């Protein structure tokens, strides 16, 4: 329940910030184009706070935090006094109207740059993207590994972290090949690193984001520090807790077979749902035997597996793989702008791949997934929350640029037609477009919500 309220609170904070940035973009440009703004509202429904500004605008925070709006004086909506006609939105030139409407999405992109700028100034603890193995018969199996290698670039795009690798790979879903540039980990301290580029054949690449990451689906084995079979975490009400296993116990034997590695142990547990397994542990220098019956649980493939609810002790990351991703005052601007541009490019590519079928509509996420992401990122710390809201801000800006008449992009479409034809799109045509756009948007929201509930 605490996690639910934390996620909900983080979601409301994130959404409130992003909506404010978006609507302020409309508001700021409208005021400079001489349009009278009657109301600036964050949220819909009944007002929980309101204030009349000296500028004649009513500022409102409403009860339903799922959007916002800027109400401008407009003769198409209400009667306008003769002395205020020149301040009506509809009386402005088409280029002024284009500027006002496009200012919302543009504000979202500017906000993303600002959030990333602060994130890079603070710095984020990061891990270098190092691989130590590849999966047989996978696209990555052509990579010959003698020692761990760091991924330096993906199809020419420089990458420094696993997040950047993930983002770069996603943008190439549906491509026939991907180039991976590598450098030996042992050489990373040198100035002239021996780089090699390997071309992966991705024509048969199958990627399901609900089951795995694009990294592992390509067959790239992520380097992880060694695992100590000393129990670090025991889940509440788990089979391990009921069996009397304690934090600090060290696993040495399972079903009469000496412990070799954690994966082999997990395989035994998962294949023993509702079956007794015997574990030998070392506790305070003494050997003890416990019997555990793994609980049955279905995995993402619908297969029944056993779980006992324990986690081992993770060895620390090597010093030469850890670094602080941070920049100076000026370089942070460049890095934040570049990252925002990458997010914009990837987002547009994903929309394109949705239409071509390279990416399934099952990948669409709605407010529940966003709330979970907001809660998770906020729990990790400020820098992670800043990165998350920058990503959502970019996506909010792009979604609003889609040429659906109920969105900013739909209004822009009508205005650009007006620029070309020299006259406004007929109101009846606009009304039909608004109805079609609303129906399509509701359908997309329905699919996203269905996907959210399916992931719970």
Q: Where are the domains of the chain?
A: 2-33+92-121+382-455, 124-225+316-324, 227-315
Is the pTM of the predicted complex or chain greater than 0.85? no
pLDDT above 60: residue 21:
yes
Q: Provide mean pLDDT across the span 398-418.
A: 88
336: DSSP letter: H
Measured CA to CA, the distance from residue 10 to residue 372 in angstroms comes to 9
pLDDT classification of 13: cutoffs 50, 70, 90 = confident
Measured CA to CA, the distance from residue 103 to residue 80 in angstroms comes to 24
Burial class (CB in 10 A: 0-12, 13-18, 19+), 37: buried
Helix or strand holding residue 180 (H, E): strand 177-184
String of DSSP letters for 216-227 = HHTTEEE----E
Q: Provide mean pLDDT across the span 196-213.
A: 82
For residue range 34-46, what is the model confidence (pLDDT) as tens digits? 999 999 999 888 8
The domains spanning 124-225+316-324 and 227-315 adopt the same CATH topology? yes
For residue range 298-345, what is the model confidence (pLDDT) as tens digits? 876 678 889 999 898 888 888 888 888 888 899 899 989 988 988 888
Q: Provide mean pLDDT across the span 369-393.
A: 71
pLDDT above 70: residue 203:
yes
Q: What is the CATH number of domain 124-225+316-324?
A: 2.30.42.10
Measured CA to CA, the distance from residue 369 to residue 391 in angstroms comes to 13
Q: Residue 439, CB half-sphere, CA atoms under 13 Å: how many?
A: 6
Please confirm, yes or no, whether 23 is among the known catalytic residues.
yes
Measured CA to CA, the distance from residue 164 to residue 339 in angstroms comes to 9
pLDDT at 360: 59
pLDDT at 303: 83
CB 182 within 8 A of CB 220: no
Helix or strand holding residue 63 (H, E): strand 58-72
- DSSP, collapsed to helix, strand or coil, labels residue 149 as strand
Question: Domain 227-315 belongs to what topology?
Answer: Pdz3 Domain (2.30.42)
Pick the catalytic residue: 23, 58, 83, 352? 23
């Amino acid at each position: 329940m605490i996690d639910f309220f934390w996620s909900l609170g983080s979601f409301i904070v994130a959404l409130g910030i992003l909506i404010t940035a978006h609507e302020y973009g409309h508001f700021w440009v409208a005021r400079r184009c001489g349009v009278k703004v009657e109301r600036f509202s964050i949220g819909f429904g009944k007002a929980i706070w309101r204030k009349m500004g000296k500028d004649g605008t009513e500022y409102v925070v409403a009860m339903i935090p799922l959007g916002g709006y800027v109400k401008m004086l407009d003769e198409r909506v209400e009667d306008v006094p003769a002395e205020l006609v020149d301040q009506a939105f509809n009386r402005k030139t088409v280029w002024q109207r284009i500027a006002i409407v496009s200012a919302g999405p543009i504000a979202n992109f500017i906000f993303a740059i600002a959030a990333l700028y602060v994130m890079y100034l603070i710095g984020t603890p990061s891990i270098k993207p190092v691989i130590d193995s590849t999966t047989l018969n996978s696209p990555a199996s052509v990579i010959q590994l003698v020692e761990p290698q760091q991924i330096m670039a993906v199809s020419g795009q420089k990458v420094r972290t696993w997040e950047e690798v993930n983002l770069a790979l996603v943008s190439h879903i549906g491509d026939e090949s991907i180039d991976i540039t590598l450098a030996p980990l042992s050489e990373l301290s040198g100035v002239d690193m021996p780089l090699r580029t390997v071309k992966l054949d991705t024509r048969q690449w199958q990627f399901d984001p609900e089951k795995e990451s694009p990294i592992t689906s390509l067959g790239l084995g992520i380097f992880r520090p060694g695992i100590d079979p000393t129990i670090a975490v025991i889940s509440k009400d788990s089979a391990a807790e009921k069996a009397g296993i304690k934090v600090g116990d060290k696993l040495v034997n399972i079903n009469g077979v000496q412990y070799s590695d954690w994966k082999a142990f997990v395989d035994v547990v998962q294949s023993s749902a509702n079956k007794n397994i015997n574990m030998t542990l070392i506790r305070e220098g003494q050997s003890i035997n416990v019997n555990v019956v793994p609980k049955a649980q279905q995995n993402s493939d619908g297969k029944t597996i056993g779980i006992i609810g324990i986690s081992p002790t993770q060895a620390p990351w090597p010093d030469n793989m850890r670094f602080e991703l941070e920049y100076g005052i000026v370089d942070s601007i460049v890095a934040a702008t570049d990252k925002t541009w990458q997010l914009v490019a990837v987002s547009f590519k994903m929309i394109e791949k949705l239409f071509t079928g390279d990416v399934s509509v099952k990948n669409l996420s709605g407010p529940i997934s966003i709330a979970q992401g907001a809660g998770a990122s906020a729990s990790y710390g400020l820098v992670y929350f800043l990165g998350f809201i920058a990503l959502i801000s970019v996506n909010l800006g792009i979604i609003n640029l889609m040429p659906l008449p109920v969105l900013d992009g739909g209004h822009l479409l009508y205005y650009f037609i007006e620029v070309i034809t020299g006259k406004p799109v007929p109101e009846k045509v606009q009304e039909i477009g608004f109805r079609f756009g609303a129906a399509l948007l509701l359908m997309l929201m329905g699919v996203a919500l269905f996907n959210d509930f399916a992931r719970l």
